Chain A
Amino acid sequence: MDITTFTSNKKFWIWGISLLAVLAALATLPQWLGSYYVILLKDILMLVLITVSWVIFSGPTGYMSLASAAFFGVGVYTSALLLPMTGAVLPLLLVIVIAGLVSFILGLLAGALTLRLKGIYFAVFTFGLVLLIQRFLLWFEMNITHTRGRFVLLVEDNTIFYVMLAIFVATLLTAYFIRRSKFGLALQSIGLNEEAAAHSGVNVTRVKVITFAISAVFMGAAGAIYATKLTYIDPYIAFNPLFSFLPVLMAIFGGLGSFYGPIIGAALFSYLQEFLKTEFPFQYMIIFGLLLMAVIVFMPRGLVGLVQRLLASLKEGPEEKSTPGWAIIFCLFGILGGLVGWFIFRERRGARVLLKAGGVVTLIGGAAYLLMFLLTLLGGLGGGYF
């Protein structure tokens, strides 16, 4: 890899400097923001970094890994074993490095075993891995150690934030350099046609397994620092299958085609998720499920894809294709609005929540509506049912 290919690239400098500015701003945030925002930002950073590290492997190759929760959970458990409530066995930073290494090894093992599987088999197997480890730990704790759950050492919020920021930066840099290197090209060629890649001299298995393991490192490290915020963990909390779906959903929400798509998607989505979680703790998963379906149905190429398509149709005139979009989008957002309305009515939590919830639903519905309307005007979408 030649370093001058980066330094002579104008775009590299523009992006690099603006990224540095953003990071510098993030680093000084705890000085002038309340602890609530520090915790919120830490969560957002974590979800973005998990998404980006998921994209390192699954983005270019097209292998849909659902093992993220396993790597994350291994990190959480490493932290719980090495940083117990009674006092740290090893220093915090070392524990995080070890968690990353343990995840790396698990990634190597799982990758070597499973990467010959294709398509849906791979997705199912990687998801199975999460449940397998979870069940085994449950059985182990119940029958061998006779314990249930563990307590983790408390760490100061600002420390967690800075560690998370450091892992975040490391993830972004790794993702960027892998994408721009020969290695990234090999990955992309595997995604396009694996056999052709193998014939062109790419060691397909090695590239896949190593990248899979590298993407696991950051998830493990993030899990390790996240555990200190949880304080109490058990196999159900550590290996929460939600962490397998969130990165996939967020990456698709942003758009898998570009480097910045998943970052934007994850940042927006995780903020939305935090908001839904605090306002609707019980209905949050229903709304999450509906959002998951809506994103898959309406934005298979993500926010970036939608914007690109809009720009393209502005430039080149309307597309010829006509598809039934209106009916379903109205139904889904109708259901979403109805559900939110019903739960608010049921809980009577006052006008403030009503206003906020209404705002979010209107915002999502309105934005989607507006986009669909524009696209229909341009002949891009809609028209089939109406």
Chain B
Amino acid sequence: METVLNVAVAGLLLGGIFALISVGLSLQYGVARVLNVAHGEFIMIGAFVTWVLYTEFGINPLLCMVIVGPAIFVIGFILYRTMFNYIRIKAPSPDAFEGNSILAAFGLLFVIQYIALTLWGSNIHGYTYLAFPIHLGTVTIAANRLVTLGFAVGISFVFYIFLARTRLGKAIRSAAQDPATASLMGVNIKRVLAICFGLGALMAGIAGVLLSMTYPVNANMGLHYTIIAIIVVVLGGMGSIVGSFIGGFILGIVGSIVSYFDPGLALVAYYAIFILLLLVRPKGIMGK
């Protein structure tokens, strides 16, 4: 019983991070139509910058979110406004844009990853922050993991309210449904899509900050999280923020169950779920 509870709690904590990462990618793919395979690299940047700021300057990792978030938002915004927007305009069809933009994103992945490798090397880094245990009944949790889960859920919730209640959120939702019509209704489509891409990158950056508190930081860590995010986005249904959020928790729990038996097989299990899902219900949990 205790093991079951421990595995479940570990799954929830893992799922919180997965959910945060996937909500960002869901926004990038669902609205901006870029399957950003460099998503994990933004996570890596966030984690590395936090590591540098904490170990070199002693800046509180939670404070780093305020620094890393906006900086990565600007990078994402500029990337979409220049490169991806240019590809979008030149592409003969939306499908061609998706194909070309995924390749460009792969180029981005290589550039970011190898710049990080030349700057910081391939060693594994880490630091300890809020690592004291908290006892909840029979289950023991590290405080930093709980903080991570809290922030992941909180940020996702704030973001959902932003999409549902604000004017810009409404513009984003309309752009997701039909970009051409939205732009006829007075939505500045170039700006809105770039903001979406930037917000997706921002969430990846913040996820990186949170991850660095509990997991080791490494220049090669990005692709792993990208793959998880893609699986979760497909699982939840393309472009559905709620679906991605639920899907993140499902994958987190599956991951923690499989890891309990054999950690080496976690990624294989994610793929198995992915393949099964694509064959059975290609639209995903919340897909329309």
Contact = CB atoms under 8 A, between A and B. Distances in A.
Interface stretch (A8-16, A29-37, A134-142, A262-270): A134-142
Given A117-B278, A286-B110, A328-B82, A249 B103 contact: yes
Contact of A286 (B96, B114, B234, B268): B114
Contact of A300 (B100, B107, B115, B278): B100
A245 interface: yes
A285 B122 CA distance: 15
Contacts of B114: 283, 285-286, 289
A138 B264 contact: yes
B23 interface: no
A297 B87 contact: yes
A128 B111 contact: no
Contacts of B264: 135, 138-139, 142-143
B35 to A, nearest CB: 5
Interface residues of A, number: 42
Contacts of B95: 62, 119
B133 interface: no
A328 B91 contact: no
A123 B113 CA distance: 21
A64 B90 CA distance: 19
A296 B227 contact: no
Contacts of B115: 286
A20 B115 CA distance: 45
A132 interface: yes
Interface in A117-135: 117, 119-121, 123-125, 128, 131-132, 135
Contact of A297 (B83, B110, B118, B278): B83
B100 A296 contact: yes
Given A289-B114, A297-B86, A124 B103 contact: no
A248 interface: yes
A68 to B, nearest CB: 13
Nearest to A132: B271
B145 to A, nearest CB: 25
Interface residues of B, number: 41
Contacts of B98: 119-120
Contacts of A135: 264, 267-268, 271
Given A121-B282, A139-B265, A300-B91, A292 B104 contact: yes
A292 B108 CA distance: 9
Contacts of A328: 82-83, 86
A290 B107 contact: yes
A289 B111 contact: yes
Interface string B153-169: 00000000000000000
A6 interface: no
A282 interface: yes
A300 B90 contact: yes
B110 A289 contact: yes
Nearest to B91: A300
27 contacts: A62-B95, A119-B95, A120-B35, A120-B99, A121-B234, A124-B35, A131-B227, A131-B267, A283-B118, A285-B114, A286-B110, A286-B111, A286-B114, A289-B107, A289-B111, A291-B107, A292-B106, A292-B107, A293-B104, A293-B108, A296-B103, A297-B83, A297-B90, A297-B104, A300-B87, A300-B100, A324-B86
Interface of A: 62, 64, 113-114, 117, 119-121, 123-125, 128, 131-132, 135-136, 138-139, 142-143, 245, 248-249, 252, 282-283, 285-286, 288-293, 296-297, 300, 323-324, 327-328, 331
Interface of B: 35, 82-83, 86-87, 89-91, 95-96, 98-104, 106-111, 113-115, 118, 227, 230, 234, 262, 264-265, 267-268, 271, 274-275, 278-279, 282
Question: Across chains A and B, which 5 residue pairs bring their CB atoms closest together, nearest first?
Answer: A289-B110, A292-B107, A289-B111, A293-B107, A285-B114
